[in-house]
């Protein structure tokens, strides 16, 4: 049941019928949409309808992140935790290997030999 509005002169106006009658008209402004909210392309042709635009916009603002899987069971949670611990141990192993590596230290008085180190030492003089 449509709500009847009265104009200033007392004439009854059915706003729902008016809205439905003019929903294909191009809306005023710079958004390139019609009165219903459909995105319009060149020549006033509908590129995306209003429902698609709303669904895409709602997909951008979800409370759950898209890239993290949702854990639905205890086994899946345990597997996720063990995978995370394995990654931490891999990082620790890599850091230990780098710490144990023999990297020669150049003294301040020693002249670097060849490559990039020699060219930088020449530029600094």
* 89-115: pLDDT as tens digits: 777 777 777 777 766 555 666 665 666
Where does the chain show beta strands of DSSP type E? 4-6, 12-14, 39-40, 46-48
pLDDT for the residue numbered 77: 83
In the chain, domain spans: 4-60
pLDDT for the residue numbered 105: 57
pLDDT for the residue numbered 6: 92
Which two three-digit tokens encode residue 55?
């669904």
Residue 117 reports pLDDT greater than 70 = no
Q: What is the mean pLDDT of the chain?
A: 79
pLDDT in tens, 36-59: 889 999 988 999 999 999 988 887
Of 29-38, 79-88, 111-120, the poorest mean pLDDT is in 111-120
Which two three-digit tokens encode residue 46?
């509908």
The rounded distance, in Å, linking the Cα atoms of 71 and 68 is: 9
Summarize the chain as % helix, strand, coil (round to 5): 45, 10, 40
Report the half-sphere exposure of 105 (CA within 13 A, side-chain side).
Answer: 2
pLDDT for the residue numbered 46: 93
Closest alpha carbon to 45 in 32, 29, 62: 32
Label residue 73 by pLDDT band (50, 70, 90). confident
The rounded distance, in Å, linking the Cα atoms of 78 and 56 is: 34
pLDDT for the residue numbered 123: 58
């Amino acid at each position: 049941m449509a709500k009847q509005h009265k104009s200033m002169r007392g004439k009854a106006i059915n706003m729902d019928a008016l809205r439905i009658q003019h929903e294909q008209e191009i809306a005023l402004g710079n958004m390139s949409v019609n009165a219903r909210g459909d995105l319009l392309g060149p020549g006033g042709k509908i590129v995306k309808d209003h429902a698609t635009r709303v669904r895409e916009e709602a997909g951008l603002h979800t409370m759950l992140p898209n890239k993290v899987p949702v854990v639905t069971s205890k086994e899946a949670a345990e597997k996720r935790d063990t995978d995370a611990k394995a990654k931490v141990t891999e990082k620790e192993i890599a850091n230990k290997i780098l710490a144990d590596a023999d990297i020669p230290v150049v003294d301040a008085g020693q002249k670097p030999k060849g490559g990039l180190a020699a060219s930088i030492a020449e530029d600094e003089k």
